[in-house]
Chains A and B, each alone.
Chain A
Amino acid sequence: DIVMTQSPDSLAVSLGERATINCKSSQSLLYTSNNKNCLAWYQQKPGQPPKLLIFWASTRESGVPDRFSGSGSGTDFTLTISSLQAEDVAVYYCQQYYSTPQTFGQGTKLEMK
């Protein structure tokens, strides 16, 4: 299985400041046929299912605010929220879909400072 490790486990950021969450995979997620990385980011608020934010490591899902961006390639990936809003307080998960079983990071809890 591909192991996904997120850092930090929790993060407190002030309103309007930048938040950065990292995700490292135990093997490359680069799909050579299309030169894209099989990595997604999800946001989960309390009592709600996860919501897809980013796929192919850097493509924003329709309707997701442009303050959310994804970057990285191979085994190292980053989710950045450029200017934190109150509604962004949530737990964020990365997920690889390069191979089965699909696996998730342990989650990063983002709070307001």
Chain B
Amino acid sequence: EIVLTQSPATLSLSPGERATLSCRASQSVSSYLAWFQQIPGQPPRLLIYDASKRATGVPARFSGSGSGTDFSLTISSLEPEDFAFYYCQQRSIWPLTFGGGSKVEIK
């Protein structure tokens, strides 16, 4: 099973600041990695797929990068609605796995 390790667990920032989240895989997943946003009380929302492609309707302030084992999600300038949980997920090798999540909170 591929283990995805996300860091930091919690990121405390102010609106307008830049957020960078990390996801590290225990073995290569090529570019088969996605990022999801989850606001408490809501289902997850697909933000990024294939490591760097934005899903339909996702604002340009969200960007993804990386391949192999190291990936990152960057929010260029935090909006109030961006304070949420973020999860990475790989579809390279069975079973599909998610990272443990990172919380972006208001400082």
A is bound by B = no
